[in-house]
Amino acid sequence: MNSTKLYPLKFQPIFKYRIWGGNKLKNELQKNIDGDQIGESWEISDVSGDETLVMEGELKGYTLKKLIQEYKSHFLGQSVYENFGDSFPLLIKIIDANLPLSIQVHPGDEVAKKRHQSFGKNEMWYIMDAEEGAELIVGFKKQTTTAEYLSKLDKGEVLDLLNIEKVKSEDVFYIPSGRVHAIGAGVLLAEIQQTSDITYRIFDYDRVEASTGKKRELHNDLAKDVIDFNIYPQYKSDFLKIENTSNTLVHSPYFKSNFIRVNGKLDKDYTSLDSFIIYIAVNGSCEIRFNEMPYNLKKGESVLIPASLKRVSILSDNNCDLLEVYV
């Protein structure tokens, strides 16, 4: 298999209208969007029916599936290919919440496979921007039981049980399957998750979808069996911000993420890593260089480095902040 054709790959995002969406993806991140209330930009996706396409170069128009089928472990990494075959394991999104999202929960791998023939959904959020007073819901603030939870839900008082976090840019949260969560109004974030679109909506503020004139569907019968009712001492992830090094963010069984603040030139050597790499620019701009070819990356954009590309350089003179993601 000839892997010499592979190079750093940018994909054409897929934009999703959402009842809670805003206009920051278009106005602040300069994404090429027609229409309003675009809540999600799917940057790198192998979800069936929503496959992103390579934007430029010899491989323009390729899906992730086609790249994997053609380049196999050269694209994914040997261990990733052995575990996932022709399926790409991650989904990368940028989310703009002008209004609060529904309160929701995702199933883990076992339940998702049994019920939906899908991966489960473990995810993380990196807050890119947050308006004054912006909040997230993550987990519970007091110990509760299934019976108490269902009673509060029935009365429309479920918010009484939930942990609300004030947020600012550069905050990070890991959302394992089973953890109740919701993005609040005024938040722009990068989301890294397993390739899954399975969401159980449990509370939606009685909102009516304009296109149907009906309230959005809830999934409480499915949700109650997967919710983790435990409380935890901390929901936010702490991390270092040392320049020109990979600072650990979230290292889970499903993906690993680091924070890199690039100042000047940073040479990266991935010889010992058996995985593709994704860089997500969360602030500033930079240039990724491979084989002396430049690939520009600005805030809100992502680039995928195939596994066979072991050495790249990152250049920035304006402190570019990147998320470095791999499996």
Residue 238's contacts (CB-CB under 8 Å, 6 or more residues apart) are none
Judge whether residue 204 has pLDDT over 80. yes
Better-scored residue on pLDDT, 196 or 314 = 314
| Residue pLDDT, tens place only, 243-293 | 999 999 999 999 999 999 999 999 999 999 999 999 999 999 999 999 999
Q: Rounded to whole angstroms, what are the CA distances from 291 to 58, 164, 309, 317? A: 15, 47, 10, 21
Calculate mean pLDDT across residues 8-19.
97
Q: How would you label 53-72 residue by residue, b for 16+ Cβ within 10 Å and e otherwise?
A: bbeeeebeebbbeebbebbb
pLDDT value of position 14:
98
- The residue from 18, 115, 179, 201 that is catalytic is 201
64 three-state secondary structure: helix
| Residue pLDDT, tens place only, 215-245 | 989 999 999 999 999 999 999 999 999 999 9
pLDDT value of position 197:
83
Q: What percent of the chain has pLDDT over 90?
A: 90
261 given a catalytic annotation: no
Judge whether residue 120 has pLDDT over 90. no
Torsion of CA 326, 278, 95, 297, to 10 degrees: 160
pLDDT value of position 98:
97
Calculate mean pLDDT across residues 116-140.
95
Distance CA 241, CA 244 (A): 9
- The CATH-assigned architecture of domain 247-326 is Sandwich (2.60)
| Residue pLDDT, tens place only, 79-104 | 999 999 999 999 999 999 999 999 99
| Residue pLDDT, tens place only, 35-78 | 899 999 999 999 999 999 999 999 999 999 999 999 999 999 99
Nearest to 97 by CA among 39, 42, 136: 39
- The CATH-assigned architecture of domain 11-223 is Sandwich (2.60)
Nearest to 75 by CA among 306, 300, 321: 306
- CB of 326 closer than 8 Å to CB of 276: yes
Q: What percent of the chain has pLDDT over 70?
A: 99
What backbone phi and psi angles, to 5 degrees, belong to 69?
-60, -35
- Say whether 247-326 and 11-223 share the same fold: yes
Domain residue spans of the chain: 11-223, 247-326
Nearest to 282 by CA among 296, 307, 261, 265: 261
Distance CA 91, CA 177 (A): 15
Calculate mean pLDDT across residues 131-158.
94
pLDDT value of position 285:
98
Q: Rounded to whole angstroms, what are the CA distances from 250 to 85, 125, 192, 237, 327? A: 24, 10, 10, 8, 11
Length of the chain equals: 327
DSSP line for 165-234: EE--TT-EEEE-TT--EEE-TTEEEEEEEES----EEEE-TT-EETTTTEEPP--HHHHTTT------S-
pLDDT value of position 210:
80
pLDDT value of position 1:
57
